[in-house]
Structures are given as structure tokens and as C-alpha cells.
């Protein structure tokens, strides 16, 4: 990601974009009872909605994002949470500072990063991913990016999870908590 991209995200967060999205991912909340407790990594955390949810439910969280503006706002929303906010350009790669019981990646597409980050999972650790899905002929009322670069192809997450035990692998049109329809790919897989 270029410095221009970082500034673009900083500008968006400074202007209040995504501020209304305070709820965690439905997929994360639906999966919570199956997830191993301990240390969690939230990749491309934005304003920290998933990181906050994890911390509220007992995880120690490392939350990573390219936008220092988003991270400052996220930290202000959870001043006493067990979250370490880390500014990092994930497009340039990321070497985790620890091994994790859980890695969460919601709606930030970087499949090579996900393939590499699997090695940061402890045995029995979980990888939970939710991405916008590329489907032909998406209707205008389906939310998310129009650029296919920011969507995953069908079965792409399954390939990322090769060698892991896949528990959830679903794709299709789904309802977001705000009532919007999204084309999504969801994966929950465990290191054996």
C-alpha cells in the first residue's frame, strides 16, 4: 500500500466513515463459542469493532491497521480494553509478535498474508475470515466494493485453508446486521 493509500484511509476515518458500524461481525458473534480463548489477532481492524468484542469476551487482542487515525479513534472507544493497537501496512507484509489462538480477518482482502499468517496460529488455533465475494452480475443493492480486486473469488478461502481443519466454508448472499445484503465468503478453520 502506498503512502497515498494510507492517507486516503486516514482521510476517510477522519471524516467519520465507518463510524456507524459499531457492531462486530455476525460471523464472529455466531462463532464465539467455538473459538479458542487466549490471544487474538485482528487484521485490518479499522475502528476496532471486532477487537473490542473479542476483548470484552476475554481475549488479549493485537489489532492491526494501516490507518493511525482509525487506531486512535478505536483506542478512544475502548480505553481500558486489553487491546494493543498496532499501526502497520499489511500490504507490505506482517510478522506477528506472538503466536495466536485466534486470527480474525474481516473484509480486507490479502490472501498471501492469510496464507503466511497461518503459521502464527498455535495448535488448535482458529482462523476466522469473512470477505466480500466476487459473483457475476451483482445487483446494485448488494453492498461492498464494486472493484473485483477487493472481493475474493469463489473457493479462494478454501485454498487459503489448505492443511487446516475447515469447520465453516460458506459463500453467497447474506444479510448484514444493518439489513443490507452482502455477497460474502466465510471461513472458520483450525490448525491441527
pLDDT in tens, 52-67: 999 999 999 999 999 9
What is the average pLDDT value for the chain, to the nearest integer?
92
For residue 68, pLDDT beyond 80? yes
What is the pTM assigned to this prediction? 0.92
Residue 185: alpha-carbon gap to chain centroid: 12
DSSP letter (8 states) at residue 86: E
- The pLDDT of residue 2 is 67
Q: What are phi and psi of 154, to 5 degrees?
A: -55, 140
Cβ(48)–Cβ(74) below 8 Å: yes
For residue 6, pLDDT beyond 90? no
Cβ(39)–Cβ(99) below 8 Å: yes
pLDDT tier at 3, thresholds 50, 70, 90 = confident
DSSP letter (8 states) at residue 138: -
Task: Please list, in sequence order, all residues whose beta carbon lies within 8 angstroms of the beta carbon of residue 64, skipping any fewer than 6 positions away.
Answer: 41, 42, 43, 44, 45, 86, 87, 88, 90, 94
- The pLDDT of residue 1 is 53
Distance CA 18, CA 186 (A): 21
For residue 4, pLDDT beyond 90? no
The CA-based angle 54-49-180, given to 5 degrees, is 120
Pick from 160, 66, 172, 70: nearest CA to 118: 160
Mean pLDDT of 110-131: 95
Mean pLDDT of 170-178: 91
Q: List the beta bridge partners of residue 166.
A: 189
For residue 97, pLDDT beyond 80? no
Cβ(42)–Cβ(55) below 8 Å: no
pLDDT tier at 83, thresholds 50, 70, 90 = very high
pLDDT tier at 190, thresholds 50, 70, 90 = very high
Amino acid at each position: 500500500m502506498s503512502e497515498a493509500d494510507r492517507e486516503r484511509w486516514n482521510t476517510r476515518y477522519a471524516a467519520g466513515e465507518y463510524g456507524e458500524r459499531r457492531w462486530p461481525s455476525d460471523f464472529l458473534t455466531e462463532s464465539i463459542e467455538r473459538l479458542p480463548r487466549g490471544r487474538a489477532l485482528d487484521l485490518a481492524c479499522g475502528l476496532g469493532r471486532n477487537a473490542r468484542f473479542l476483548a470484552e469476551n476475554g481475549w488479549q487482542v493485537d489489532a492491526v491497521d494501516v490507518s493511525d487515525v482509525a487506531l486512535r479513534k478505536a483506542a478512544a472507544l475502548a480505553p481500558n480494553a486489553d487491546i494493543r493497537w498496532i499501526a502497520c501496512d499489511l500490504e507490505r507484509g506482517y510478522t506477528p509478535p506472538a503466536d495466536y489462538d485466534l486470527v480474525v480477518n474481516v473484509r480486507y482482502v490479502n490472501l498471501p498474508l492469510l496464507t503466511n499468517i497461518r503459521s502464527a496460529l498455535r495448535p488448535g488455533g482458529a482462523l476466522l475470515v469473512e470477505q466480500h465475494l466476487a459473483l457475476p452480475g451483482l445487483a446494485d443493492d448488494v453492498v461492498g466494493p464494486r472493484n473485483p480486486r477487493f472481493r475474493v473469488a469463489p473457493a479462494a478461502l478454501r485454498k487459503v485453508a489448505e492443511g487446516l481443519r475447515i469447520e465453516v466454508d460458506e459463500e453467497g448472499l447474506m444479510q448484514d446486521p444493518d439489513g443490507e445484503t452482502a455477497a460474502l465468503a466465510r471461513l472458520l478453520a483450525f490448525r491441527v
